Amino acid sequence: MDLGSLRIIKYGEAMRVLIGYSYASNNRDAVANAINDLAKGLSEAGVQTVVYKQYDPYQERSQPVPGTIAESFRKVNRLKGQLLYLAGFTLHLIRTASTIDCVITLDTPSGLAFTGKLAKLVSRGRIKHVAWIMDLYRLQSRNQENSPSSRLRDARLKFETATIKSADKVVVLGECMQVELRRNGISESVVLPIWHNASSTLPIPKPEAKAAYYRSSDFIVMYSGNAGVAHPLDGLVRAAEILKNEKQIRFIVSGHGKSYDSAQKLARQAGLENIEFTSGVPFHELSLYLSSADIHVVCLSEQALGSCVPSKAYGAMAAARPILFLGSAGCQVALDVDEAQCGYCIPTDEAEKIANTIFSLYRQPSLTDQMGRNSRLYFEDQRTLATGVTRWSQMLRTVID
């Protein structure tokens, strides 16, 4: 990889904004999609936006076996790609400082927020810095062991926290993230909720979507998306085991990650035939695929509360489907589901309660349909791209003006 592989996309005119995120070219990355949606939307609101993109061939979704040479090779090349991105973004920022009013930095690669501080120094305060925080895993996973590696990690986190503090505005996705930031000494932030860019294809009527993948009589409980260590699915698998004799209730787990692998292993050990694991569908089929579910499952470990706000919840809302959120009642998704009256919130490990709730919705199709309608109404009122762009445009104007 070299700096010649850079691709830069511009939108619109007037106020000038630069956005940096190392995986911005990956259309399977939820953060990348949000950034590109925002950039395009801001252009229509009169804001010139540049998304600094760099192709990274090591973004592939397949995960090498832990402990193998392949895994080590992938880690080394991922680090190389992120360092190249950081260097390229910094150079671009310095070269184009006179044409930028605001720089928006995300949390990958590590240290990217420092470029915002650098921009302020180079421009003597003219360029404003907005730190957009979508992921607080690193701050939450601070290792307290007294070892060289943990001390180095803590030093890095302190540096990142300091650069975020220096931003003119810190943006988070939910109130739970604000609480977590305060615990890490960042007292000032603003909540700008995430959205789902639902095209005219959503919502798709359930019978039409379901016919493309399943039997019309199937009641589909779907988890779709990344399932890392912060997204435990074992409770859902145990719920599937409780409901294994309900032949019309089918569980679909579509995605990748450590929790996905763990859940697949657990289901295999239990000999479950009512749960299917799949790597998903092509991106252009995603709207149809999401619409084939009767219920969407979203989860976030209680220990990861405040680390992020799972954006897949808003895809489910756009598709007009109920949400079964597995996690803490304090998560922004849980608060939104409660406000919208479009589903339920259950702790991740309460398999029996998860199973009972799914069975209750299966037996009450009118309630399931009503929750789906509520889900879509809340989406249209609070979580559309247009609403998100309006909030961001207003915030940027107050920062820059």
Parallel, antiparallel, or unpaired: how do β-strands 343-346 and 323-326 relate? parallel
Do the Cβ atoms of 122 and 129 come closer than 8 Å? no
Asked whether residue 145 falls in the same domain as residue 67, the answer is: yes
pLDDT at 1: 29
325, β-bridge pairs: 298, 345
Domain extent at residue 223: 206-382
Asked whether residue 136 falls in the same domain as residue 49, the answer is: yes
pLDDT exceeds cutoff 90 at 315: yes
Asked whether residue 373 falls in the same domain as residue 390, the answer is: no
Average of per-residue pLDDT across 316-320: 95
Mean per-residue pLDDT of the chain: 87
Asked whether residue 355 falls in the same domain as residue 331, the answer is: yes
pLDDT at 66: 58
pLDDT exceeds cutoff 70 at 9: no
Phi, psi (rounded to 5 degrees) for 400? -75, -40
The total of structural domains in the chain comes to: 2
pLDDT at 391: 96
Distance of CA 398 to the CA centre of its chain: 26
Do the Cβ atoms of 382 and 196 come closer than 8 Å? no
Q: Which of 27-31, 48-52, 273-277, 312-316 has the lowest mean pLDDT?
A: 27-31
pLDDT at 173: 96
Q: Which of 59-73, 261-275, 303-317, 384-398 has the lowest mean pLDDT?
A: 59-73
CATH code, 94: 3.40.50.2000
Asked whether residue 227 falls in the same domain as residue 344, the answer is: yes
Asked whether residue 84 falls in the same domain as residue 7, the answer is: yes
Asked if residue 121 belongs to a domain, the reply is: yes
pLDDT exceeds cutoff 70 at 204: yes
Asked if residue 119 belongs to a domain, the reply is: yes
Q: Using DSSP, state whether 18 is helix, strand or coil.
A: strand
Asked whether residue 238 falls in the same domain as residue 339, the answer is: yes
Asked whether residue 36 falls in the same domain as residue 90, the answer is: yes
User: Over pLDDT 70: what percentage of the chain?
Assistant: 87
pLDDT at 139: 65
Give the model's confidence band at 57: pLDDT under 50 very low, under 70 low, under 90 confident, else very high: very low
277-310, pLDDT tens digit by residue?
A: 998 888 888 899 999 999 999 999 999 999 999 9
User: Over pLDDT 90: what percentage of the chain?
Assistant: 63
Asked if residue 200 belongs to a domain, the reply is: no
What is the C-alpha separation between 114 and 287, in angstroms, rounded? 37
- Is the pLDDT higher at 330 or at 15? 330
pLDDT at 147: 45
Asked if residue 356 belongs to a domain, the reply is: yes
Q: Describe the strand order of the beta sheet including 343-346 as a list of residue ranges.
A: 275-278, 249-256, 219-226, 295-299, 323-326, 343-346
What is the C-alpha separation between 56 and 77, in angstroms, rounded? 9
Which residue is associated with the tokens 């390229």? 88
50, β-bridge pairs: 10, 18
Do the Cβ atoms of 313 and 355 come closer than 8 Å? no
Asked whether residue 352 falls in the same domain as residue 393, the answer is: no
Average of per-residue pLDDT across 369-384: 96
pLDDT at 159: 75
Element of type H or E holding 268: helix 258-270
What is the C-alpha separation between 353 and 358, in angstroms, rounded? 9
Asked whether residue 267 falls in the same domain as residue 327, the answer is: yes
Average of per-residue pLDDT across 184-193: 91
pLDDT exceeds cutoff 50 at 5: no
Asked whether residue 265 falls in the same domain as residue 307, the answer is: yes
Average of per-residue pLDDT across 149-175: 82
pLDDT exceeds cutoff 80 at 71: no
- Is the pLDDT higher at 31 or at 373? 373
3 state SS for 150-189? HHHHHHHHHHHHHHHHCCCEEEECCHHHHHHHHHCCCCCC
Rg of the chain over Cα atoms, rounded to whole angstroms, equals: 22
What is the C-alpha separation between 71 and 77, in angstroms, rounded? 10
Asked if residue 144 belongs to a domain, the reply is: yes
Asked if residue 201 belongs to a domain, the reply is: no
pLDDT exceeds cutoff 80 at 125: yes
Asked whether residue 391 falls in the same domain as residue 366, the answer is: no
Average of per-residue pLDDT across 365-371: 97
Asked if residue 301 belongs to a domain, the reply is: yes
What is the C-alpha separation between 329 and 347, in angstroms, rounded? 8
pTM of the model: 0.86
Kindly tell me the burial class for residue 255, based on how many C-beta atoms sit within 10 Å of its own C-beta (0-12, 13-18, 19 or more). buried
Average of per-residue pLDDT across 238-249: 97
Would you give the end-to-end CA distance of the chain in angstroms?
Answer: 39
Asked if residue 286 belongs to a domain, the reply is: yes
What is the C-alpha separation between 21 and 26, in angstroms, rounded? 10
